[in-house]
């Protein structure tokens, strides 16, 4: 009897262990779940078009492509597909790069090849000797790998494969993640655990995670990674670390991912023993040249450097009376012989400059237009302040026609609820990319992809939200932000809604009753966070330092522009930052049509109203509400939106594995609590100035303003 009981118990434990492991694996597997179709009709249809795989070539990359194809097809369709080396037969999947293809196949795909660039791929159903086959190809092996992932995505998302004709080339050259990872494995603004890079065990120990990381990135077309924080430590450039960097670079290479490093401008002093880092000093120039040669000797395809210079205390050329051009060009010369690039960040503002912080990057960089070397690309954040839930696009986009300019988005949610809030960021990215700059009628996307100004290099960087948490990103839905970033970096014209659709299908389920409501939930999640944190153009009112939770009252920090009161300027007479021509005149940094639109509160989009205007509490909004009522109602709307996200999710239990279902449920409840915290704290604080009652429909706080002010979070993550 006792024996039986123990047996039962151990069976039960085994069952739970297995189901936990399977569930945990799902979290880990990201959008590459390759769920079995479990549907005879669908499976048969696919298998009818896939009778065999024929691969030509045997590079590491192609082997990876083949393994992926096998894995995906066998998992989804339940069959091992036979391999062959020739292309005789029908319904084969033929994979190989252009030069490895049969001459007649090359000829058949001539016009497609003309339309593809270096990394672009072709997936086409063609007839060979009157027999139908699918060719997946491109001009190089990595392009073939991209094609394989795209083909698998067709099946993951239940799309037909009978008559394929896909020609897809990336519109951006450098599609890169920026890791703000420190050498001690902490991650600045990281909310998903510690850094993936285990520097201590490198170079000899290659964690399987490095491979899985590269694979995930390749699946969405990301082709570069900056391993270390822009607030840099020069040690990364020492031989001891470069050996480790080399090990990572070799691991990522077959996946088409280049490694880049942040260069600390003062490295020649800190690790080079020089007295100066002056970019005009011959020893300094030579030091960087030698350093570049040393790096390229180990990593021949090293991508180049990213630099945060003279920004937030980081060293830079200005320490020596030189400017950004001098610094950037000196480094550009060092990497140019090896084909490297320099991504020079435009995130600059000075405590000694009394001008509106939002204006400073433009004021400083525009005069340099045309002066940077061809292999320099200026990296500009999407907005002029700092990765807020909503910002108008940065006025530098379109203002430097003779300068390579790239986008920097933040994927990690520094200002958007860390990794506990479900916020679908591709919606934000899309809003920025499709903004009309009124520069030759061009959108931001057209500036970024080089089509407007014919730039030498194009790029999009995303500050990574990845850490060593089991699910990579802390929140299962934050995986969608990594995914969506990659997809938009490949093609900045994609629609965030269709990205959400394919991500949901690949990550969770193809069931319409799941995809439709959850897609809607994702799409509205961006507006929800704007509503419960910073509605109507408010910004940077997060608590100080860690940026966790509301802190509109903070006013005692040493630099004025570090204080939330600097940004909202609430007083008895109203609220908002006057950046119009009667104020800081930041509007003048936009094209004249845009400036005109922003300048006038009645034509300024209401979503940006308090970004550009200081208005009285009684100012009348378009819907007839007073500004005070409008703000309060928006905060309430945000809270209500989170409530409906919870209601929607709670109905999804049947479509999701228990672990992810529960995780997301718990996270949404945290989001709900914090949305209310934001609403209550901000409204109580602003009410002191408006002196008005809450409009009906807005819930009253059960806590006092002093209570909210007293909250402290000494160990908030990411700091």
* Of the candidates 33, 193, 8, 174, the residue with the CA atom closest to the CA atom of residue 718: 193
Nearer to ligand GCW, 272 or 417 (CB): 417
Q: Return the H-helix or E-strand segment holding 165.
A: strand 165-168
Nearer to ligand GCW, 140 or 413 (CB): 413
Rule CB under 6 A: say whether 349 interacts with ligand GCW. no
Q: How far is the CB of 718 from ligand GCW (least distance, A)?
A: 8
Q: List the interface residues with ligand GCW, window 195-234 (CB under 6 A).
A: 230-231
* Of the candidates 348, 385, 354, the residue with the CA atom closest to the CA atom of residue 366: 348
Q: How far is the CB of 415 from ligand GCW (least distance, A)?
A: 8
* Of the candidates 350, 351, 440, 343, the residue with the CA atom closest to the CA atom of residue 397: 440
Out of 119, 364, 386, 391, which one is annotated catalytic? 386
Rule CB under 6 A: say whether 387 interacts with ligand GCW. yes
Phi then psi dihedrals of residue 231, to 5 deg: -80, 90
What is the 3-state secondary structure of 156-201?
HCCCCCCCCEEEECCCCCEEEEECCECCCCCECCCCCCCCCCCCCC
Nearest-CB residue to ligand GCW?
A: 386
Residue 374 is among the residues annotated as catalytic for this protein: no
* Of the candidates 529, 563, 567, 560, the residue with the CA atom closest to the CA atom of residue 547: 563
Nearer to ligand GCW, 248 or 461 (CB): 461
Rule CB under 6 A: say whether 347 interacts with ligand GCW. yes
Q: Site map for ligand GCW, 167-186, x if CB under 6 A?
A: -------------x------
Beta strands in 215-351 (DSSP E): 224-226, 258-262, 304-307, 341-345
Rule CB under 6 A: say whether 637 interacts with ligand GCW. no
Q: Site map for ligand GCW, 388-417, x if CB under 6 A?
A: --------------------------x---
Number of residues this chain uses to bind ligand GCW (CB under 6 A): 11
Q: How far is the CB of 192 from ligand GCW (least distance, A)?
A: 16
Q: Site map for ligand GCW, 254-293, x if CB under 6 A?
A: ----------------------------------------
Residue 520 is among the residues annotated as catalytic for this protein: no
Residues in the chain: 719
Is the separation of the CB atoms in 682 and 535 below 8 Å? no
Question: What CA–CA distance (Å, rounded) separates 627 from 694?
Answer: 12
Nearer to ligand GCW, 251 or 410 (CB): 410
Rule CB under 6 A: say whether 378 interacts with ligand GCW. no
Q: How far is the CB of 516 from ligand GCW (least distance, A)?
A: 35
Is the separation of the CB atoms in 418 and 717 below 8 Å? yes
Residue 60 is among the residues annotated as catalytic for this protein: no
With a CB cutoff of 8 Å and minimum separation 6, the contacts of 307 are 230, 262, 263, 265, 316, 327, 328, 331, 342, 343, 344, 345
Q: How far is the CB of 382 from ligand GCW (least distance, A)?
A: 12
Nearer to ligand GCW, 230 or 335 (CB): 230
Is the separation of the CB atoms in 64 and 32 below 8 Å? no
The owner of tokens 């005109």 is: 596
Nearer to ligand GCW, 243 or 351 (CB): 351
Q: How far, rounded to the nearest angstrom, does the alpha carbon of residue 471 sit from its chain's CA centroid?
A: 16
The owner of tokens 């920097």 is: 408
Rule CB under 6 A: say whether 386 interacts with ligand GCW. yes
First to last CA, the chain: 56
Catalytic residues: 312, 386, 414
Would you tell me which residues interact with ligand GCW (CB under 6 A)? 180, 188-189, 230-231, 308, 312, 347, 386-387, 414
């Amino acid at each position: 009897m006792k024996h039986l009981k123990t047996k039962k118990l151990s069976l039960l434990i085994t069952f739970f262990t297995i189901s936990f492991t399977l569930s945990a694996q799902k979290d880990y597997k990201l959008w590459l779940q390759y769920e079995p179709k479990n549907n005879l009709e669908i499976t048969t249809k696919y298998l009818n078009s896939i009778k065999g795989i024929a691969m030509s070539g045997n590079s590491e990359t192609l082997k990876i492509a083949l393994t992926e194809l096998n894995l995906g097809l066998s998992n989804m369709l339940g069959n091992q597909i036979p391999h062959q080396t020739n292309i005789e037969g029908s319904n084969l999947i033929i994979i190989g790069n252009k030069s490895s293809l049969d001459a007649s196949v090359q000829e058949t795909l001539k016009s497609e090849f003309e339309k593809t660039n270096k990394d672009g791929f072709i997936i086409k159903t063609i007839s060979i000797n009157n027999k139908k086959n699918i060719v997946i190809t491109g001009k190089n092996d990595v392009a073939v790998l991209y094609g394989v992932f795209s083909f698998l995505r067709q099946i993951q998302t239940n799309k037909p494969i009978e008559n394929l004709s896909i020609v897809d080339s990336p519109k951006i050259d450098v599609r890169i993640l920026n890791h703000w990872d420190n050498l001690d494995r902490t991650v600045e603004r990281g909310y998903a655990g510690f850094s993936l890079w285990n520097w201590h065990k490198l170079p000899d120990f290659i964690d399987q995670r490095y491979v899985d990381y590269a694979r995930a990135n390749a699946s969405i077309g990301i082709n570069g990674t900056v391993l270390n924080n822009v607030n840099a430590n020069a040690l990364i450039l020492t031989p001891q670390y470069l050996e480790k960097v080399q090990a990572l670079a070799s691991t990522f290479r077959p996946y088409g991912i280049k490694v880049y490093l942040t260069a600390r401008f003062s490295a020649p002093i800190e690790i080079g023993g020089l007295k100066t880092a002056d970019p005009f000093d011959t020893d300094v120039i030579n030091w960087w040249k030698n350093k570049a040669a040393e790096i390229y000797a180990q990593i021949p395809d090293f991508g180049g450097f990213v630099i945060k210079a003279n920004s937030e205390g980081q060293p830079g050329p200005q320490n020596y009376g030189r400017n950004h051009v001098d610094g950037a060009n000196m480094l550009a010369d060092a990497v140019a012989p090896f084909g490297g690039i320099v991504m020079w960040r435009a995130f600059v503002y000075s405590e000694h400059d009394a001008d509106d912080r939002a204006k400073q990057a433009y004021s400083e960089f525009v005069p340099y237009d045309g002066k940077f070397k061809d292999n320099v690309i200026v990296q500009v954040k999407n907005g002029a302040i700092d990765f807020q839930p909503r910002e108008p696009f940065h006025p530098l986009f379109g203002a430097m026609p003779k300068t390579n300019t790239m986008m920097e988005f933040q994927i990690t949610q520094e200002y958007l609820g860390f990794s506990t809030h479900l916020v679908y960021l591709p919606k934000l990215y899309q809003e920025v990319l499709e903004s009309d700059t009124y520069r030759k009628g061009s959108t931001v996307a057209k500036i970024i992809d080089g089509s407007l100004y014919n730039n030498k290099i194009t790029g999009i960087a995303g500050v990574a939200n990845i850490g060593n948490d089991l699910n990579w990103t802390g929140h299962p839905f934050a995986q969608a932000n990594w995914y969506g970033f990659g997809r938009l970096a490949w093609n900045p014209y994609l629609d965030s809604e269709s990205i959400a659709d394919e991500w949901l299908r690949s990550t969770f389920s193809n069931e319409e009753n799941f995809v439709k409501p959850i897609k809607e939930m994702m799409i509205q999640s961006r507006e929800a966070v704007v509503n419960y944190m910073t509605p109507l153009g408010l910004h940077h009112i997060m608590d100080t330092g860690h940026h966790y939770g509301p802190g509109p009252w903070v006013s005692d920090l040493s630099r004025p522009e570090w204080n939330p009161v600097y940004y909202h300027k609430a007083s008895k007479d109203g609220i908002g930052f006057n950046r119009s021509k009667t104020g800081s005149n930041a509007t003048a940094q936009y094209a004249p049509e845009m400036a005109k639109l922003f300048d006038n509160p009645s034509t300024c989009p209401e979503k940006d109203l308090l970004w550009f205007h200081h208005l009285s509490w009684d100012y009348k909004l378009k819907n007839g509400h007073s500004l005070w009522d409008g703000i309060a109602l928006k905060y309430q709307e945000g809270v209500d939106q989170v409530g409906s996200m919870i209601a929607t999710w709670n109905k999804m239990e049947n479509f999701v594995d228990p672990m992810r279902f529960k995780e997301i449920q718990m996270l949404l409840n945290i989001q709900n609590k914090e949305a209310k915290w934001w609403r209550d704290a901000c409204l109580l604080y602003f009410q002191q100035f408006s002196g008005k009652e809450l409009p009906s429909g807005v819930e009253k706080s059960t806590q006092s303003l002093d209570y909210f002010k007293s909250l402290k979070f000494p160990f908030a993550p990411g700091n």
